[in-house]
């Protein structure tokens, strides 16, 4: 039986969240003079993402991304190597201009439901204890980047085997948070 490969950090299962974990350091994939980003808190809402914008390591069809309060994110080495991939995007993805690794994504629009949270890829850290993946989002979007639609049943089944529910948007809790934010703005 062939096992569908999704992302190297989740394909063989993953460690549970360490509730006492207080952060660590992300590094880009350059051989030397790596960009380093220090995270001083635990991440939340870690998930596999199939959107076409998120950074994926080589061979992965999904990214793995979590959020952290932006005040807990600090570039501590080689900041001059960072560039914003797309200035017009809602999430400004700051990537190493040499290796292409996305180090963090930031939302500048104060009216956005996720303003104040930065998006990070915890697999870029050697530190152990990060929040475990909880779900897979935007699963159908991988078709837009070349996945054969006939493979989707096997992909969803693999996520189920790993204990990760699949959605073609964000998780219900995050969708509820977005709707509540919009409702509050409309009052």
- Over the stretch 2-25, which tens digit does the pLDDT of each residue have? 668 899 999 989 999 999 999 999
Indicate the number of domains in the chain.
1
Q: The domain that contains 89 carries what CATH number?
A: 3.90.1590.10
Tell me, yes or no, whether 19 lies in a domain.
no
Tell me, yes or no, whether 4 lies in a domain.
no
| pLDDT top residue among 179 and 2 | 179
The answer on whether 51 is annotated among ligand-binding residues is: yes
The answer on whether 49 is annotated among ligand-binding residues is: yes
Tell me, yes or no, whether 12 lies in a domain.
no
3-state secondary structure 76-121: EECHHHEEECCCCCCEEEEEECCCCCEEEEEECCCCCCCCCEEEEC
The answer on whether 169 is annotated among ligand-binding residues is: no
Tell me, yes or no, whether 5 lies in a domain.
no
Point out the residues that are catalytic: 49, 51, 54
Question: What is the pLDDT at residue 97?
Answer: 98
Beta bridge partners of 74: 38
pLDDT band, very low/low/confident/very high, at 126 (cuts 50, 70, 90): very high
Find, among 68, 66, 44, 70, the residue nearest to 55 by Cα: 66
Q: Which residue has the tokens 């509050």?
A: 184
Give the residue numbers spanning the domain of 101: 24-185
Tell me, yes or no, whether 44 lies in a domain.
yes
């Amino acid at each position: 039986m062939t096992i569908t490969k999704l992302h190297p950090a989740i394909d063989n299962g993953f460690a549970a969240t360490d509730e006492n974990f207080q952060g660590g350091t992300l590094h880009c994939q350059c051989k030397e003079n790596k960009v380093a980003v220090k995270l001083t808190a635990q991440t939340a809402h870690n998930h596999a993402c199939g959107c076409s914008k998120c950074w994926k390591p080589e061979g992965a069809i999904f990214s793995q991304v979590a959020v952290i309060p932006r005040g807990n994110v600090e570039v501590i080495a080689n900041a001059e190597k960072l560039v914003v991939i797309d200035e017009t995007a809602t999430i400004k993805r700051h990537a190493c201009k040499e290796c292409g690794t996305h180090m963090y994504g930031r939302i500048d629009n104060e009216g956005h439901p996720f303003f104040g949270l930065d998006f990070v890829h915890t697999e870029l850290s050697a530190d152990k204890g990060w929040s475990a993946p909880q779900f897979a989002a935007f699963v159908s979007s991988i078709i837009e980047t070349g996945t054969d639609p006939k493979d989707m049943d096997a992909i969803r089944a693999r996520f189920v085997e790993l204990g990760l529910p699949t959605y073609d948007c964000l998780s219900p809790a995050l969708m509820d948070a977005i709707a509540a934010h919009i409702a509050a703005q409309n009052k």
